[in-house]
Amino acid sequence: MGAVLSREFKEGPGARACRRLRRLWSTGYWLGSNVAWMAVTSAICLVAPVIFYYERECQMFEMQQQFMEAQQAAAQAQQLQQMAGV
């Protein structure tokens, strides 16, 4: 049955439709691949710097927090020493 249909598509009026469908599929695949490539490349080029900047800013805030905690701990230790000395 498959051979009969294949022969009919190669020789009969379905051959033109078969060629058109094959061309449509290959063109659609090519276009979809190119669109996907452009989208991924654009995302990498446009989003990656924002992510790196955000990560650097988070590290800066963490360092500020550690510095503030160290200052508060030093101030509390000094107060405890003053209270113990009195």
C-alpha dihedral sign at 29, 33, 36, 38 = negative
End-to-end CA distance of the chain: 105
Tell me the CA distances in angstroms from 15 to 10, 21, 24, 26, 29, one per residue in order: 5, 10, 14, 16, 21
85 residue type, one letter: G
7 confidence band (pLDDT: 50, 70, 90): low
Query: In angstroms, rounded to a whole number, what is the distance separating the alpha carbons of residues 79 and 85?
Result: 10
Query: Could you report the per-residue pLDDT of 17-76, keeping only the tens digit for each?
Result: 888 899 999 999 999 999 999 999 999 999 999 999 999 999 999 999 999 999 998 889
59 residue type, one letter: Q
